[in-house]
Amino acid sequence: MTTREVDVVVVGAGFAGIYLLHRMRQLGLSTQVFEAADGVGGTWYWNRYPGARCDAESMAYSYSFDPGLEQEWQWTERYATQPEILKYLNHVTDRFNLRRDIEFNTRVTGANYDDKTKRWSVSTDQGHKVRARFCMMATGCLSTPQNPDIAGLKNFAGPTYMTGQWPHEGVDFGGKTVGIIGTGSSAIQAIPVIAAQANHVTVFQRTPNFSVPAYNAPLDKDWVEHYKKDYPTHRDDYRQARVTSFGDLMNPDEFREVDEQMLLETPIEEVHEKLERFWQFGGARFMWAFVDTIASEEANRVVADFVRSKIRETVNDPKVADLLCPSSYPIGTKRICVDTDYYATYNRDNVVLVDIASSPLQTVTEQGLKTTAEDYGFDILVLATGFDAMTGTLSRMNITGTEGVPLNDTWAEGPKAYLGLGVNKFPNLFLITGPGSPSVLSNMIVSIEQHVDFITDMMVHMGENQYESVEPDPGAQEAWVAHVNEVANGTLFPKAGSWYMGANIPGKPRVFMPYAAGVAVYREVCDGVVAQGYQGFSFS
């Protein structure tokens, strides 16, 4: 196959890749997108498990770059389902005529910088060889499911399904018995739905998670109309949010004030009243009722106790309730889950919770699972065991920079990227929502748009100044990584063995990967970098 020349290669056709392609087209650059799936959507293409829906509200979990698109698209529920989000992304792809530049069913297997030609050479499992001036990784933060280290997985005689690679035709649980390993966000959404269909469900829990009710509901047409009239203001609200940008702004007037209040400076009755109000409102915004929840152990304990009391109120069997109450890490330091009837599902006669922290899994058997205490049998095994987050996809892509330096060597002690956007010795390589940016701590769409816009503006700047390439300075990168760590160490985040820390993957360096200072602070930093002539980047 001959080598093609393009200006830009984009890896991935999820929210980030789609918007990138649109912006590159606007710059008049020839762009080739490679996508492993046979359709657009990224994480929303693969995660088709029962109950999959977004935990950011639909009106906020959508692009803002085109007012016409914003006005015409109609979300139907407060939290969009996976099929509806996929429909939206297909709509955007077709509306902006983007499909023709996306090569589907094609996985990138190498991205290698050539010092002589100053071009990226990108190869795929379909035998493509493409040379590009720019290489952009729109590969998502949660796109490589982890294959759990559980003995005997191949022994199981029945079907095994991973939540992150769910079959397109769906799974009929009717009349079946099911074993589910994992109790993270995916499992917490799937378990109530599977339990309502299956004969019996056994949930194998190693670590319980904190979850907040979604109170999902159909969107009221009048409310949507009212909200859409003021879309730009709402957008600004969650772009400027100090701590989060989840955009849980169903009732913006009431919830706009929330970013400032300290729990430890608030009378306890008022604290409980506010937590109750936020709990009744529903959604991840609960975590940000008080700004010190993620910084002070004392404040955090009050919020965690509140949720534990809700679990105990909901679950009838006190022993099961105890098992469901997290106690080994501060609330919020593992991603807060948002559910519909999760805890109440354990009141069903057909659901059993097995504590594999006290009696660990030994092996998967032909009929089910064996723990150190007991044997369990079931027809279907579901693995809701998570992802090699933030770096997993990049580490599997054979990326090399100047002088052939592998990205995996550069990142051997944890990911290093200036602003989470670019890496020293990897010229003209950009990461969308990479490690060191707010990414998974924010509304992903807000962060994706900001990164894509930043990169697009930088490319215009390069064109105006006839620069061929750009890469971060080593000093700026080191300083940024140190700052990201310093910010994380000022919070409680490092106290949990979370996927934010790489702790769910054996052998992965334990480094807190996202930037925890919030999207508004991060945007200010990026704007300052631009104002200083792209401070910290070297152009040539």
| Of positions 70, 99, 131, 148, contacts ligand N01 by CB under 6 A | 148
Geometric angle at alpha carbon 83, from 78 and 89, rounded to 5°: 90
- Residue type present at position 350: N
| Of positions 123, 385, 410, 437, contacts ligand N01 by CB under 6 A | 385
391 binds ligand N01 (CB under 6 A): no
| Of positions 41, 42, 179, 182, contacts ligand N01 by CB under 6 A | 182
Using CA atoms, how far apart are residues 248 and 283, in angstroms rounded to an integer? Answer: 7
- Closest-CA residue to 128 (of 243, 275, 2, 299): 2
Of 50 and 472, the one with the shorter C-beta distance to ligand N01 is 50
335 binds ligand N01 (CB under 6 A): yes
Using CA atoms, how far apart are residues 539 and 517, in angstroms rounded to an integer? Answer: 28
Of 48 and 234, the one with the shorter C-beta distance to ligand N01 is 48
Asked if 17 contacts 11 with a C-beta cutoff of 8 angstroms, the reply is yes
- DSSP-derived letter for residue 260 is G
Site for ligand N01 (CB under 6 A): how many residues? 28
Of 82 and 456, the one with the shorter C-beta distance to ligand N01 is 82
Q: How far is the CB of 152 from ligand N01 (least distance, A)?
A: 12
Of 386 and 438, the one with the shorter C-beta distance to ligand N01 is 386
- Closest-CA residue to 173 (of 197, 207, 153, 196): 197
Using CA atoms, how far apart are residues 52 and 340, in angstroms rounded to an integer? Answer: 11
Binders of ligand N01 among residues 208 to 237 (CB under 6 A) are none
Of 175 and 506, the one with the shorter C-beta distance to ligand N01 is 506
Binders of ligand N01 among residues 110 to 129 (CB under 6 A) are none
Question: Mask: binding to ligand N01, 470-499, rule CB under 6 A, as x and -?
Answer: -----------------------------x
450 binds ligand N01 (CB under 6 A): no
Distances (CA, A) of 365 to 56, 194, 354, 371, 379: 38, 22, 17, 10, 12
DSSP H or E stretch at residue 20: helix 15-26
Q: How far is the CB of 207 from ligand N01 (least distance, A)?
A: 3
| Of positions 143, 186, 424, 428, contacts ligand N01 by CB under 6 A | 186
Of 106 and 163, the one with the shorter C-beta distance to ligand N01 is 163
In b/e form, how buried is each residue of 282-315, taking b as 16+ CB within 10 angstroms? bbbbbbbbbbbbbbbeebbebbbebbbebbeebb
- DSSP-derived letter for residue 220 is P
Q: How far is the CB of 426 from ligand N01 (least distance, A)?
A: 26
| Of positions 12, 42, 179, 184, contacts ligand N01 by CB under 6 A | 184
- Closest-CA residue to 418 (of 496, 529, 322): 529
86 binds ligand N01 (CB under 6 A): no
Of 149 and 169, the one with the shorter C-beta distance to ligand N01 is 149
Q: How far is the CB of 186 from ligand N01 (least distance, A)?
A: 4
Of 378 and 499, the one with the shorter C-beta distance to ligand N01 is 499
Q: How far is the CB of 209 from ligand N01 (least distance, A)?
A: 7
What are the DSSP calls for 161-207, one per residue? Answer: EEGGG--TT----BT-EEEEE--SHHHHHHHHHHHHHBSEEEEEESS
Binders of ligand N01 among residues 498 to 527 (CB under 6 A) are 499, 504
| Of positions 20, 36, 54, 459, contacts ligand N01 by CB under 6 A | 54
- Closest-CA residue to 317 (of 342, 347, 343, 344): 347
150 binds ligand N01 (CB under 6 A): yes
| Of positions 149, 269, 313, 374, contacts ligand N01 by CB under 6 A | 149
**Which tokens sit at 466?**
């006839």
Q: How far is the CB of 376 from ligand N01 (least distance, A)?
A: 13
189 binds ligand N01 (CB under 6 A): yes
What are the DSSP calls for 443-499, one per residue? Answer: -HHHHHHHHHHHHHHHHHHHHHTT---EEE-HHHHHHHHHHHHHHHHTSSGGGS--G
Of 187 and 321, the one with the shorter C-beta distance to ligand N01 is 187
- Closest-CA residue to 263 (of 227, 299, 225, 215): 299
Q: What is the dihedral of CA 80, 84, 86, 89, to 10 degrees?
A: -90
Taking CB under 6 A as the binding criterion, the range among 91-99, 131-139, 145-153, 218-226 that sits at the site for ligand N01 is: 145-153
| Of positions 32, 62, 106, 207, contacts ligand N01 by CB under 6 A | 207
- List contacts with ligand N01 (CB under 6 A): 54-55, 142, 148-150, 163, 181-187, 189, 206-207, 335, 338, 356, 361, 384-387, 440, 499, 504
